[in-house]
Amino acid sequence: MDTRSTRQQRAPASKAGPAGQADVRYVEIDDERAGQRLDNFVTGLCKGVPKSHVYRLIRSGQLRVNGGRRAADYRLQAGDSLRLPPMRVPVVQPATAAGAERVQRARAALGERLPVLYEDDSILVIDKPEAVAVHGGSGVSSGVIERLRAALPQARFLELAHRIDRETSGVLVVARKRAALLALQAQWRQRAPAKRYLAVVAGHWPLRAKTLSFPLRRLAAPDGDRRVVVHGQGQEAVTRVRGLARFEVEGAGALSLVEAIIETGRTHQIRVHLNYAGFPIVGDDKYGNYALNRRLAARGFRRMFLHAASLRLRHPESGAPMDLVAPLPAAFAALLRSGGVDPARFDEAVHDRPVEPAALPGDNGARA
């Protein structure tokens, strides 16, 4: 552990554990480490400990901050005292070393195939494919960050600057320097980045903008699964939704392409808001219309149709404004074409500008 950035001492009455298992220890967070998520910090600090084990310790309350429980996404603050319980580090036997090397090579190959939208010495921006988690854990062997680290072994620092759902595709920013990570995290805390999503929803959404402002609460689940509901005592959540195109697909009925801009960043925010408004996202297996999802899956449309299309922020070092854009996914284009809609009209990567609602034949100009 880097003793320049954290101070560590053993608990006064701790005892040595079994082989491969450390004693209870305490870590004080300084200014350099402040701002990191609890789960990310512990995973980086405790090399070799599976992330799934870290999550279990957080959920069970064995891993504590200032003597109390904290969620995995808690942002550490300077002066926080972190209690780390004994953790068993797997001992790699010679027979399994070759297997671990094969896994690492496989991860590297997957990481090399991740589409890069932009890169420099400070950040790496990729177009995350759908069905790929941003990090491993909770039943996921590896995610984007593990694949990138395997593909770029020379990189001294690679950390996620933010997150998007596993089922969502699109713009994802990775920091290549700690200073860049802290600067980006500061922008997110100030709600400065402008995040624009595209989604296909069930039903005909009006071709105009509407603000969805429903407070959200995350429900605890024993298996670690995350589910979010609209709740009067929940956290503030604001999503601005604009209809872009309305169309119909045989066997699926009325569908709409919408733009969603989030002013807050709650878990599953867009998915829950649209479902609560009566327009579930197509292919959403948690909050969506299951019967509709099955009918579309039979036609080959099996993904969740939510895409992080663009992200506007400031470069973490120069401060220059950046517009990061991910192309419209092929599955989106295919679904739009099946409804008689030209997908090129809604691909910001093609037009290099925000898209406008379409006046489509048979839509009767409806905007209300």
**pLDDT of 12 over the 50 cut:** no
What average pLDDT is seen over the chain? 83
Q: Kind and range of the H or E element at 322? A: strand 321-325
Q: Residue 66: left (phi > 0), alpha (psi -120 to 50), or beta?
A: left
**What does the pLDDT read at residue 141?**
66
282 against 139, higher pLDDT: 282
Give alpha helix (H) positions in 238-344.
Answer: 269-276, 290-298, 330-338
**pLDDT of 177 over the 60 cut:** yes
How much of the chain exceeds pLDDT 70, in percent?
79
Q: Do 23 and 17 contact (CB within 8 A), yes or no?
A: yes
50-106 pLDDT per residue, tens = 778 888 899 999 999 999 999 988 988 888 999 999 876 655 455 455 566 666 667
**pLDDT of 196 over the 80 cut:** yes
CA atoms within 13 A on the CB side of 127: 16
360 against 184, higher pLDDT: 184
Structural domains in the chain plus CATH codes: 11-84 (3.10.290.10), 98-178 (3.30.2350.10), 191-351 (3.30.2350.10)
Of 138, 127, 168, 115, residue with least CA distance to 303: 168
**pLDDT of 15 over the 90 cut:** no
Which of 15-19, 118-122, 216-220 has the lowest average pLDDT? 15-19
Q: How far is CA 40 from CA 46, 135, 137, 316, in A?
A: 10, 10, 11, 20
Give the pLDDT mean for 199-205: 97
Burial label, 61 (beta-carbon count in 10 A; 0-12, 13-18, 19+): exposed
**What does the pLDDT read at residue 14?**
39
**What does the pLDDT read at residue 139?**
57
336-363 pLDDT per residue, tens = 999 999 999 888 655 454 545 444 333 4
pTM: 0.74
228-257 pLDDT per residue, tens = 999 999 999 999 999 999 999 998 999 999
Q: What DSSP designation does 22 have? A: P
Q: Identify the band that residue 368 occupies on the pLDDT scale cut at 50, 70 and 90.
A: very low
**CA 200 – CA 256 distance, rounded (Å):** 6
**What does the pLDDT read at residue 274?**
98
Q: Do 24 and 14 contact (CB within 8 A), yes or no?
A: yes
Strand partners, 88: 21
Q: Identify the band that residue 6 occupies on the pLDDT scale cut at 50, 70 and 90.
A: very low
Q: Do 51 and 43 contact (CB within 8 A), yes or no?
A: yes
Amino acid present at 232: G
**pLDDT of 147 over the 80 cut:** yes
* Pair of tokens at residue 172: 């994802």
* Pair of tokens at residue 274: 């649209």
Pairing of strands 169-175, 306-314: parallel
Annotated active-site residue 225? The verdict is: no
**pLDDT of 126 over the 50 cut:** yes
First to last CA, the chain: 59
265-288 pLDDT per residue, tens = 899 999 999 999 999 999 999 999
**What does the pLDDT read at residue 51?**
79
Q: Give me the catalytic one of 39, 80, 165, 347.
A: 165
Give the pLDDT mean for 170-180: 95
